[in-house]
């Protein structure tokens, strides 16, 4: 009899604590998630921080967080990495009114924009009798910039090409661009004297002006392997390499003070473009040498979706129609078609200098030269 009553009492306790956790387990649970940095370069580490708190008297035996993540945001430790779709899981237990902060070391494995929106939360009782599920809004995102490679690895059209672009800046003196000081020469105006440098060197020094020109640089990536945009994209590794080249070159030229822009016939990932639009705007960042231009271009390249909004011939037509002129244009492309070559000729007739870098295999390049 005593054993029977003990079993009954035990069942009552099991059911009661299950009801309690079912009703109040998720109440007054708060959760926040963020990245310590909003941007990283491909291959760099980034820290994701979970902060969760139990603001009630009821302790929580166990609580599980589960969120779907891109396989390109991978744990820093290789043994923790998974293939394919990744579900990031974290287990907690709480005393009353306890807050826990947990940090996770990840690696930005591939160029892209990675938003995290919701997290699934599961709370269970002590004996595993019941579980309660809910989802919390925890919006955050990290942008992974493309990897910056060595400039010598880019197959530029000639060794002198980049030098020619730089030389075009040395055309007229710009009074707003300072390039250090130099010794006074006969005929230098008095207002250019740098008195601090003169006192320091004990010889008359004048401000040295930098030079500029109207020419700008646009770096384009052609996503076309086939001109029919209804066909799925191929040669994705080659296109990623082209974006890496574009990012590397833009970083270098902007550091040299050259007004640089970027464009491609793809489009931005969501939420930066409406997926329901039949024709999406192509990607085009106009040239600038401002302080934020380098980050602006890297951000644009990171958020490019590997898909096409239009074929490259139509992309170049946009430049022709807007009357682009006095621009140095470098195109990274898998191949050169007759229609694209015709558009390049029209751009040259408008006063632009256009160079191309063919990124196809050696076999493909040979076929194109032969034709």
Contact 332, 220 (CB under 8 A): yes
Give the residue carrying structure tokens 């530029």.
Answer: 156
What's the pTM value of the predicted model, to 2 decimals?
0.79
- What's the pLDDT at 84? 53
Distance of alpha carbon 290 from the chain centroid: 19
- pLDDT under 50: residue ranges of the chain: 79, 81, 170-177, 211-212, 362-363, 365-371
Q: Could you tell me the CA-to-CA distances from 266 to 143, 182, 305, 331, 337 in Å, in that order?
A: 18, 47, 6, 14, 18
Residues 6+ apart with CB under 8 A from 55: 28, 29, 30, 97
pLDDT score at 98: 96
Which pLDDT does position 178 carry in this prediction?
Answer: 54
pLDDT digits (tens, 9 = 90+) for 154-213: 988 876 677 777 666 544 444 444 556 677 777 667 667 787 777 777 788 877 655 445
In CATH terms, the superfamily for domain 28-145 is: Immunoglobulins (2.60.40.10)
Q: What are the residue ranges spanned by the domains of the chain? A: 28-145, 151-169+214-370, 173-212
Contacts of 14 (CB under 8 A, 6+ apart): 127, 129
Q: Which of 191, 224, 225 is nearest to 207 (CA)?
A: 191
β-partners of residue 52 are: 31, 100
C-alpha 26/C-alpha 138 separation (Å) is 16
Per-residue H/E/C for 124-173: ECCCCCCEEEEEEEEEEEEEEECCCCCHHHCCCCCCCHHHHHHHCCCCEE
Q: Which of 40, 253, 238, 223 is nearest to 151 (CA)?
A: 253
Q: Is 67 helix (H, G, I), strand (E, B) or coil?
A: strand
The CATH class of the 151-169+214-370 domain is: alpha beta
């Amino acid at each position: 009899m005593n054993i029977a009553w003990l079993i009954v009492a035990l069942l009552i306790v099991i059911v009661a604590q299950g009801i309690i956790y079912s009703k109040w387990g998720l109440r007054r649970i708060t959760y926040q998630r963020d990245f310590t940095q909003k941007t990283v370069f491909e291959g760099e580490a980034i820290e994701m921080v979970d902060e969760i708190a139990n603001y009630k008297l009821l302790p929580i035996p166990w609580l599980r967080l589960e969120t779907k993540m891109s396989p390109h945001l991978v744990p820093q430790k290789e043994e923790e990495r998974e293939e394919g779709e990744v579900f990031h899981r974290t287990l907690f237990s709480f005393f009353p009114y306890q807050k826990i902060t947990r940090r996770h070391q990840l690696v930005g494995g591939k160029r892209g924009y990675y938003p995290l929106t919701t997290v699934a939360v599961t709370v269970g009782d002590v004996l595993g009798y019941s579980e309660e599920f809910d989802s919390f809004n925890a919006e955050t995102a990290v942008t992974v910039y493309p990897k910056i490679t060595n400039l010598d690895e880019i197959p530029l059209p000639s060794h002198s090409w980049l030098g020619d672009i730089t030389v075009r800046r040395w055309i007229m003196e710009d009074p707003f661009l300072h390039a250090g000081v130099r010794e006074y020469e006969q005929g230098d105006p008095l207002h250019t004297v740098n008195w601090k440098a003169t006192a320091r060197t004990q010889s008359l020094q004048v401000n040295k002006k930098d030079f500029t020109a109207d020419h700008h640089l646009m770096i384009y990536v052609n996503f076309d392997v086939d001109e029919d945009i209804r066909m799925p994209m191929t040669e994705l590794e080659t296109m990623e390499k082209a974006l890496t080249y574009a990012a590397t070159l833009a970083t270098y030229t902007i550091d040299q003070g050259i007004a640089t822009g970027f464009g491609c016939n793809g489009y931005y990932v969501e939420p930066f473009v409406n997926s329901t639009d039949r024709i999406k705007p192509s990607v085009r960042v106009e040239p600038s040498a401002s302080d934020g231009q380098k980050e602006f271009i890297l951000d644009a390249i990171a958020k490019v979706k590997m898909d096409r909004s239009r074929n490259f011939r139509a992309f170049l037509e946009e430049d022709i129609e807007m009357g682009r002129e006095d621009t140095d244009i470098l195109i990274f492309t898998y191949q050169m078609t007759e229609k694209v070559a015709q558009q390049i000729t029209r751009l040259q007739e408008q006063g632009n200098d256009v160079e191309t870098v063919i990124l196809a295999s050696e076999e493909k390049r040979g076929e194109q030269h032969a034709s």
